[in-house]
Homo-oligomer: A and B are copies of this chain.
Amino acid sequence: MSCGNADLLVRALPAARRTRQRGAVLHVLVDCSDFVSAQQLHALTTADGIGVGLTTVYRTLRELEAYGRVDVVRDDAGERLYRLRPFGRHRHYLVCRSCGRSRAVDAEVVEAWVDEIGESAGFDAVEHTVELTGICATCRSATPPLAGGGEQ
């Protein structure tokens, strides 16, 4: 799906060169509607026949992150998951802990709150992480309730 899309992204990176590998990572990333890990991307490019070294996958992701082209979250195990950032501005997501599907949420309220907090505390260069997880309606109706719990 969408070949020109990945090309645009390659161009958006500061890297001096357009390589087959970087293109492959971006191409796979464009096709992923949800968050994926570096390891998954590595496996996906391999499955596509376009082998890309794990090192390069990490490098490309780090670069994408540094230039604000992806949103990043961490799963329960702490693994980083990446997703292309739709329109320049970053987004926040509500992710289902059961099936992994995510949806972007409107976080204007939070963005404003962050600005105000930073300002009133006299902090510079304030960055923020906001992650929401839950159980989506589909998964709830498909899964028997489990005991325990603890989060307040």
Instruction: Give the chain B neighbours of A144 by CB distance below 8 A.
Output: none
Contact of A68 among B109, B125, B152 (CB under 8 A): B152
Q: Tell me the number of copies of this protein.
A: 2
> A90's closest neighbor in chain B, by CB?
B152
Known pairs A125-B135, A128-B131, A136-B123; A94 contacts B118 (CB<8 A): yes
A88 within 8 A of B: yes
> A126's closest neighbor in chain B, by CB?
B134
Instruction: Give the chain B neighbours of A126 by CB distance below 8 A.
Output: 94, 132-134
> A67's closest neighbor in chain B, by CB?
B150
Known pairs A123-B94, A126-B94; A132 contacts B117 (CB<8 A): yes
Contact of A88 among B123, B131, B152 (CB under 8 A): B152
A18 within 8 A of B: no
Sort chain A's interface into a size bin.
Answer: 35 or more
Instruction: Give the chain B neighbours of A131 by CB distance below 8 A.
Output: 128-130
> A96's closest neighbor in chain B, by CB?
B123
In angstroms, how far is the closest chain B Cβ from the Cβ of A65? 8
Instruction: Give the chain B neighbours of A117 by CB distance below 8 A.
Output: 94, 105-106, 132
**What are 24 contact pairs spanning A and B, CB under 8 A?**
A67-B150, A68-B151, A74-B74, A74-B78, A78-B80, A94-B118, A94-B121, A94-B123, A94-B126, A97-B125, A106-B117, A107-B113, A109-B109, A110-B110, A110-B113, A114-B132, A118-B132, A122-B137, A123-B132, A123-B134, A125-B151, A127-B133, A128-B130, A129-B130
